[in-house]
Amino acid sequence: MRIVVTGGAGFLGSHLCDKLLHEGHEVICIDNLITGTVANIEHHDSNEKFRFINQDVTEYLYISGNIDYVFHFASPASPIDYLKYPIPTLKVGALGTHKTLGLAKDKKASFFLTSTSEVYGDPLVNPQPESYWGNVNPIGPRGVYDEAKRFAEALTMAYNRYHGVNTHIIRIFNTYGPRMRKNDGRAVPNFITQALNGEDLTIYGKGDQTRSFCYISDLIDGIYRLAMSDINTPVNIGNPSEISIKECAETIIRLTNSKSKLTFKDLPVDDPKVRRPDITLAKEKLGWNPAVMLEQGLHTTIDWFKSS
């Protein structure tokens, strides 16, 4: 297939490009590099099946020739990034999704939207099944990301129902692995960087809030299975193994043999108290189950942070 990947120079997008090229597809990667980096894709420089276009996907997209699939991965995705770029975050989720859906419709291509567990907001139900409508503060600082992704889901379903575009929606839960930026601001890269530098690990709040961390290779496997499936409604992909943020920080201190301690800071506004995916749908319909346990994935990620 000839495939467009927006956000292809980012953490998730670049791993997806690797997978698609490995499966023998041709990849056109589009990224404006506000949070992505060419370092994530430069290993494809001499690959004739790979092309990079530096463009903001909220602008009109012109791609010559046929396209079989459009994967829309472009968006700031770390809370500090969408606080720094609130309007680009809203625009890429809304206008960028419109442009990429328009491209898919025009080319009679399939479409894949990366949505997020953030559509569940600060959930009142744990674990979260796809049928849960969420508890989102539309005007809070995280609203720029959450509402953009909720709009993107609505637009994707409308293109599916009204224009007959073959669409897929993934709701991604916290994912980690090589190629996360050291200063990305999210818990895992922050904790690893701090532990390796012998600095105290910054716990926001008491650290009793929970997350469920999925390793990148498991996520990419789930993405590929969903992309090739006939499911048009949203599907959760994430690791249901839930831990507190404090426990996550302590695990990283132990795995890095660090002498760092914990330091406690204010909890960001609207920070979800719990998060854990219900993955029954992915298990039953895609035969997907995460294979990488947290400590195993953290080892690989820590090694990558040490060597990069």
If residue 103 lies in a helix (H) or strand (E), which one and from where to where? helix 86-107
Burial class of 45 by CB neighbour count within 10 A (0 to 12, 13 to 18, 19+): exposed
5 vs 195 by CB, closer to ligand UDP: 195
Cβ proximity to ligand UDP: between 56 and 81 the closer is 81
Rule CB under 6 A: which residues touch ligand UDP?
78-79, 174, 186-187, 190, 202-204, 209, 211, 245, 268, 271
DSSP 8-state code for residue 266: P
Q: Give 201-226 as a DSSP string.
A: EEEETTS--EEE-EEHHHHHHHHHHH
Place of tokens 């609505």: 154
State whether residue 12 is helix, strand or coil.
helix
Catalytic-residue membership of 145: yes
In the complex, residue closest to ligand UDP by CB: 186
In whole angstroms, the minimum distance from the beta carbon of 174 to ligand UDP comes to 5
Identity of the residue, 97 or 194, whose beta carbon is nearer to ligand UDP in the bound complex: 194
Q: Of the two residues 57 and 187, which places its CB atom closer to ligand UDP in the complex? A: 187
Distance between CA atoms of residues 148 and 210, nearest Å: 24
Q: Name the residue nearer to ligand UDP (CB basis): 78 or 160.
A: 78
Nearest CA among 304, 238, 301, 227 for reference residue 275: 238
Which among 221, 165, 202 has a CA at the least distance from the CA of 80?
Answer: 202
Find the shortest distance in angstroms from Cβ 97 to ligand UDP. 20
Q: How many other C-beta atoms lie within 10 A of the C-beta of residue 46?
A: 7
Candidates 145, 159, 176, 215; catalytic one: 145
Least separation, in Å, of the C-beta of 203 and ligand UDP?
5
Distances (CA, A) of 244 to 188, 203, 253, 291: 12, 11, 14, 20
The least CB distance from residue 89 to ligand UDP, in Å, is 13
Least separation, in Å, of the C-beta of 275 and ligand UDP? 6
Residues annotated as catalytic are: 145
